[in-house]
Structure 1
Amino acid sequence: MSYLAITFPPDFSSENLFMAVTREAQVITPAEALSRLVTGNKRFVYGNPRYGHDVTQAAATAGGQQPHSVVLGCIDSRVPLEAIFDQPFGSICVARSGAHVLDRSLIGSVGFAVAELGVSLVVVVGHQRCGAVNATVKALRAGTVSEGEIGYLVDQLAPAVREVGIDDPDAAEKAIRAHVIRTTDRLHKVESLAAAMAAGRINVVGAIYDLDSGWVEFLS
């Protein structure tokens, strides 16, 4: 078995790098956390990313973390959340499922990030041309029943599709937005998150990622 040898510069100090990275990642207010994601997305879109998969940064954050946001998104391989927001190691927690469908484990993960890691912002990110939403629209139009795990996703996404209208030609794209809103609304009703929001400690927002341009649209 062979191993990759990593050589750090002579003045490298993991402790100093850890402190620098965590100071940058840690924020106080939900508004500042949101600002960091917005400006990071701009850097990503304009081709000027500041962060990447840098092993020295990974090593610097190995001793602890102080993330400012938890981002809930889809499993779609075209939507790497750390990349589209151009965030460094240790700055955001990421939770993913098909079409960001919530279950107890995901809600618990978000709650953990808020209560134990002190994040200031919860972001739900949907995206264009979501395969799970498209499959749900097709199933509802055909009147077919999907079984097993995929059936669970369809059942969870069906209310958003019905909300916009199954026969609408743009039902899939409209349902993506509706599902983001429904997901954020559900998170608003989680007791621990609602209490943190009432205290002004966190915010919960929705967003849509544009696959073609790279822009993230935050929903009001």
Structure 2
Amino acid sequence: MSTMTATRDAQVSTPAAALSELIAGNKRFVHGSPRYGHDVTQAAATANQQKPHSLVFGCIDSRVPLEAIFDQSFGAIAVARSGAHVLDRSLIGSINFAVAELSVSLVLVVGHKRCGAVTATVEALRAGATVGGDVGYVGYLVDELAPAVREAGLEGEDATEKAIRINVSRTVERLRNVPGLAEEIAAGRVDVVGAVYDLDSGWVEFLP
């Protein structure tokens, strides 16, 4: 184990410490002073084992590379992604695995501004699309995002941005009640937190 990895493991072992590490990494990223260059020597240092402090669950959007926006090196975070961070059984199982087997201290759900999947859902519902219809795999995303969009309301130019934040909060709440995760949260070993990434500034806003 490298000195850097050993130091990180000793310091990042609680939900609060993991969140602090991600906040600090995002600040380094925004200020143009990243610590990690992602070279092959860093990859080799973690090739035989991993002990990530966090599982970061985000959107598939190519503009939101999660390791980069939190300035995290190899082995520091586990990453799961789907369109608009929509949950299904495989993702819930993967997140549970990261908590149970990799001992992550934090599960962070990251939405982002101008999310295409949420925008498409807003437009579909405005057009009168029927949720639950036979609309294929993309339709599954629309069905899953529809409750957040309806809660945000379909009126106004900010409907999509409101829905993005609500969708993050809904995903957080759903994960907090997953069997296995719920018990770890109650014991104080894990926390689940939501955030929204700003595509223009690079800042990550952590939600209450």
TM-score (norm 2): 0.95
Q: Which residue of 1 aligns with 2:164?
A: 176
Deviation at 1:99, TM superposition (A): 0.2
- Is 1:185 the counterpart of 2:187? The answer is no
Give the Cα separation in 1 of the matches to 2:15 and 2:163: 27
1:123 match: secondary structure: strand
1:74 to 59, 70, 86: 59
C-alpha separation between the residues in 2 aligned to 1:102 and 1:22?
Answer: 31
**Residue 104 of structure 1, aligned match among 89, 96, 99:** 89
Q: Distance in 1 between matches of 2:77 and 2:7?
A: 12
**What amino acid is aligned across from residue 212 of structure 1 in structure 2?**
D
Show the counterpart of 1:164: 152
One-letter amino acid of the structure 2 residue matched with residue 158 of structure 1: A
Cα contact 1:123–1:204 (8 A) shared by 2: yes
**Residue type of the alignment partner of 2:3:** A
Larger Rg: 1
Tell me the SS of whatever aligns to 1:87. Answer: coil
2: CA distance, partners of 1:132 / 1:172: 10
Relative to structure 1, is the Cα distance of residues 56 and 79 closer, same or farther in structure 2, using a 3 angstrom cutoff? same
**Equivalent runs, 1:22-171 vs 2, <5 Å:** 22-26=5-9, 27-145=12-130, 147-171=135-159
Which amino acid letter does the alignment assign opposite residue 77 of structure 1? S
**Overall identity of the aligned pairs, in %:** 71
The question of 1:20 aligning with 2:3 is answered yes
Alignment length (residue pairs)? 203
Residues 65-86 of structure 1: per-residue CA shift (max 9 Å, x gap): 0100000000000000000000
* Matched AA of 2:119: N
Tell me the distance in 2 between the aligned counterparts of 1:99 and 1:125: 9
AA aligned opposite 1:100: H
Deviations 1:102-129 (A, max 9, x none): 0001111110000000000000000000
- Give the distance between the partners of 2:167 and 2:7, measured in 1 at CA: 32
The corresponding residue for 1:13 is none
Q: Partners in 1 of 2:81 and 2:7 — Cα distance?
A: 24
Q: Secondary structure at the match of 1:157?
A: helix
Gaps of 5+ in 1: 1-17
2:195 corresponds to which residue?
A: 207
CA-based RMSD of the aligned residues comes to: 1.1
* Paired letter, 2:158: D
CA contact (8 A) 1:25 1:67 kept: no
Alpha-carbon separation, structure 1, partners of 2:157 and 2:202: 24
Provide the rounded CA distance (Å) in 2 between the counterparts of 1:71 and 1:24. 21
1:155-201 Cα offsets, whole Å, 9 max, x none, are: 00000000011123311010000000000000011011110000000
Paired AA for residue 69 in structure 2: I
Unmatched segments (≥5 aa) in structure 2: none
Distance in 2 separating the partners of 1:91 and 1:188? 22
